[in-house]
Structure 1
């Protein structure tokens, strides 16, 4: 067990799902509250447990932003100590998971630290390298089109931009993402509280199918699979164009579905890959998403079907957000002003 001061708050990383989110939220809150923590049994429910490359890289990024002392952050470690210092706003930071480790997980741990400033300050910027579209983390398109717009709309986070310079697919990674966010400044600038209880009807469904180093037919296959699954769920007949698909739901309450295909320029990605992200906008202000990543020997149509099935299941669950968005906004809810 790591040596630690008596004032350290000890967090059991095996609580609930025992994954990486408790690690990211714990470290972010530690930095914001200036409270040293020790996290034990990290990723206790995963096989193998302990830190992977992207978790270690995320901890190192948070430590740089928060001028923190970080002990025990090595691959496979199941315990770390994080002693925060002064948070440095309006700087440029970069982090590289080296592998195909998720850039979205790096952003998750850094973002809360960059949201606040005691006085007006320029945006903070991040350059993140690694995987952009992986199976065990939100795809970068989900972060760009679901999480960040939702956080801006409901919690009032500062102006942001996210630019996907290069996609990184498993197993080679090599993706590059540029992100900037303007901090809320002054003692009265806080995240808004949120009350989202009524889902309302689906306004529209949008999506992005993407591929790199693969034939154009892969993207069209993912779109075809998604639209077929949506039609089975009752969203109506399809109308296909070269770059997108429209689906009209029968009856008075038409739901437009538009899926765009983005093909990465030849030679830009380190290795081939593909994926699709879909999201539904709800009348009550909520958002529900679904996604899937292409893998070797899996037909493109099946990838699209999986993403659509995930979206449909999320809508059928009846919530205002999907389980992944819920997971990511918990820390924003904790930081928001009280009612």
Structure 2
């Protein structure tokens, strides 16, 4: 058993071997990365002190359904898997293709279910169909639109191909969303180099309302976002489509996602969800400011994609290099777990950038070259 504690660890990274001492607070992320890597490498893991510092410690429904999905994918033996459990262990078996279903039965994010299941399904012997149920547009998680429009095209650079069909959108608090994902297996992952940002060439997005909410909210979110971006980026046409989700939405919800594309194929996003009592303008402005923040640093990925790519860099055969803005705690956590469970070696180097007053970093990884034994 590899033992991982969700409470504390020391991470050493960077070319100057700076030691970062920090407390892990991303219990869910540690579970996702370590469970996926356990499944792929065949190593048994024990995870302790899960979300121990939280007001509701231990596993929540979305964590539990993600772990059960991985265990199902790899015919594994999962111990301690119940709501509120702070200790679990997973002993993986052989990764199985075919149909797999996970249902959070809440508004827990389907995108976080995909984050844990996708890497595993890549190492199956044939295509896998994942039926994921819960929230498609949920707080504290990527919106499904981000997964399709940003995460998916960048993963294709690693040689990863999956299709994602939104059957039903689901929102907080009821969930009720459903996506069908088809994942094709790979023999091995290719390393990726993303070092040159280039110029921003296109900005587009969608501002949506669902259920009983008035269409005016979508128009207000879109207009406020465009106004905010215009203050900083004047030369580009900005197309944020206001939309009324009709047939394919369960419950009421509103939100916005805005995507920027660069001349070298980099993608960045800003998004926000509507909440009770929050003006639509404010939701649009929040998404626009998030996008602008992610464009300013002149890196090649936004703050949300950064940590999601770590597991794929660790598994790829060869050296990956990705230029980013400030390295997030989520990324540091993912690196720590990836180095613990694979042969991958990461370094983080600070770059001075003549084009930007902001500092950028290069995350470099000598990948472990995990080959698919089932193909």
TM-score w.r.t. the length of structure 2 is 0.78
Contact 2:253 2:274 in 1 (8 A): yes
Contact 1:196 1:285 in 2 (8 A): no
Q: Any idea what the Cα deviations from partners look like across 1:100-156, whole Å, max 9, x if unmatched?
A: 1111011111000111345xx3x211111111111111111110111011101x211
Contact 1:92 1:124 in 2 (8 A): yes
What is the aligned counterpart of 2:289 among 309, 312, 315?
309
Q: Quick check: which one's strand share is greater? A: 2
Is structure 2 residue 308 aligned with structure 1 residue 328? yes
What is the aligned counterpart of 1:277 among 257, 268, 276?
257
Name the residue aligned to 1:25. Answer: 33
- The 2-side partners of 1:215 and 1:318 are apart by 37
Is structure 2 residue 281 aligned with structure 1 residue 319? no
The offset of 1:330, in angstroms, is 0.7
Alignment of 1:1-339 (within 5 A): 8-15=1-8, 17-19=24-26, 20-44=28-52, 46-89=54-97, 91-117=98-124, 121=126, 123-152=127-156, 154-158=157-161, 160-184=162-186, 189-213=187-211, 214-233=213-232, 235-236=233-234, 249=235, 255-265=236-246, 269-339=249-319
The offset of 1:262, in angstroms, is 3.0
- The 2-side partners of 1:25 and 1:172 are apart by 27
The offset of 1:270, in angstroms, is 3.4
- The 2-side partners of 1:326 and 1:17 are apart by 17
Q: Any idea what the Cα deviations from partners look like across 1:255-289, whole Å, max 9, x if unmatched?
A: 332222332116x5332111111121122332211
TM-score w.r.t. the length of structure 1 is 0.86
- Tell me how large the CA RMSD over aligned residues is: 1.5
Contact 1:18 1:42 in 2 (8 A): no
**Per the alignment, in what secondary structure is the counterpart of residue 116 of structure 1?**
coil
Contact 1:211 1:273 in 2 (8 A): yes
Unaligned 5+ runs, structure 1: 1-7, 237-248, 250-254
The offset of 1:38, in angstroms, is 0.4
- The 1-side partners of 2:76 and 2:266 are apart by 36
Structure 1 consecutive aligned stretches of length 4 or more whose deviation exceeds 4 Å: none
Unaligned 5+ runs, structure 2: 9-22, 320-375
